[in-house]
Amino acid sequence: MEITQKAPAKINLSLDALYRHGDGEHEWRMVMTSVDLADYVSIRPSARKISVRTDSGFVPEDARNLAFQAARILRQEAGINAGASIYIEKHIPVAAGLGGGSADAAAVLRGLNELWGLNYSRERLAAIGLRVDSDVPYCVYSQTALVTGRGERVQPLGTLPNFWVVLVKPAISVTTARILSMVDYQDTLPRPDTNRVLSGIEQCNFDLMISGMGNALEAVTAARFPVIEELQQRLIKYGASVAQMSGTGPTVFGLCPTRSRAERVYNSMRGFCKEVYLVRPLNMG
């Protein structure tokens, strides 16, 4: 028996960092959604060993792999001896701010839940996922949600207004931990208006939704990598209604209300960047 789970990339429509907890972790308030750019995670039962292989040269295949960590923690939680052989077909750019590793970890939790017949609820899988990474609880659901706390509170939202997404991943590598360590709460962070984003989604109103968008970490990454701002300006120039960094970057995305506009933006951006994707959110009206 083999189970294949889709592990979609996420983008942050809003990302607000509120404060740092005593243990160094951040308090988040963000609206996340998943797009149709996904890894495929196949899982087969195996005697007692957990193993991970991927078709990517950029992803570790040992205990550093988030999918491996998820399998190990779930096995421990379930108190069983089973093993699993995990294969990840990578399509999501690595270390891009698109949550690829977290998506794979969540896919492993969903897949093993089925394969090992655990019947754990999504809530329980999400709580286990939090031990791997703060984005894993969201990825267990992989549907538009308001995410708060350290990432553990995931409130699914309604369907999104209609739009297309142009993802642009510059050829630089950004370490999430590094950017997070540089966040200074004494500085005035450019805050999104998350409540407006929520109202926009509730009313299925694209213009209202984008008027509240923002990423409080954008300035931190952009100060070190000017290409972020340059790509945002280009996205707007070519017709995107809004352009923003995802997660801690470096991927920047533009939203367009029509396919023709998105295609124009996509084609223009391909002249400047090798890695450009035209995608749609997974749950739209």
Size of the site for ligand ATP (CB under 6 A): 21
- SS3 at position 128: helix
Residue 98 touching ligand ATP (CB under 6 A)? yes
CA 50 to chain centre: 25
117 assigned to a ligand binding site: no
Applying CB under 6 A, the span of 20-28, 64-72, 161-169, 273-281 interacting with ligand ATP comes to 64-72
CA triple 173-33-199, angle to 5 deg: 125
Does 97 count as an annotated binding residue? yes
User: At 40, phi and psi to the nearest 5?
Assistant: -120, 125
- Among residues 247, 213, 200, the alpha carbon closest in space to that of 26 is found at 247
Q: Which residues are catalytic?
A: 10, 135
Residues in region 233-252 near ligand ATP by CB under 6 A: 247-248
Q: Are 281 and 144 in contact (CB under 8 A)?
A: yes
Q: Which residues of 64-74 are buried (b: 16+ CB within 10 A; e: fewer)?
A: ebbbbbbbebb
18 is in an annotated binding site: no
> Smallest distance, Å, CB 52 to ligand ATP?
8
Q: Could you say whether residue 107 binds ligand ATP (CB under 6 A)?
A: no
Q: Which is nearer to ligand ATP, 55 or 114 (CB)?
A: 55
Q: How far is the CB of 106 from ligand ATP (least distance, A)?
A: 10
Residue 93 among known ligand-binding residues: yes
Tell whether residue 95 is among the known ligand binding residues. Answer: yes
| Closest residue to ligand ATP using C-beta atoms | 101
Nearer to ligand ATP, 67 or 235 (CB): 67
CB 251 within 8 A of CB 166: no
Distance CA 25, CA 18 (A): 11
Q: Binding site for ATP: what residues are annotated?
A: 93-103
Interface residue list for ligand ATP (CB under 6 A): 59-60, 64-67, 88, 94-102, 104, 135, 176, 247-248
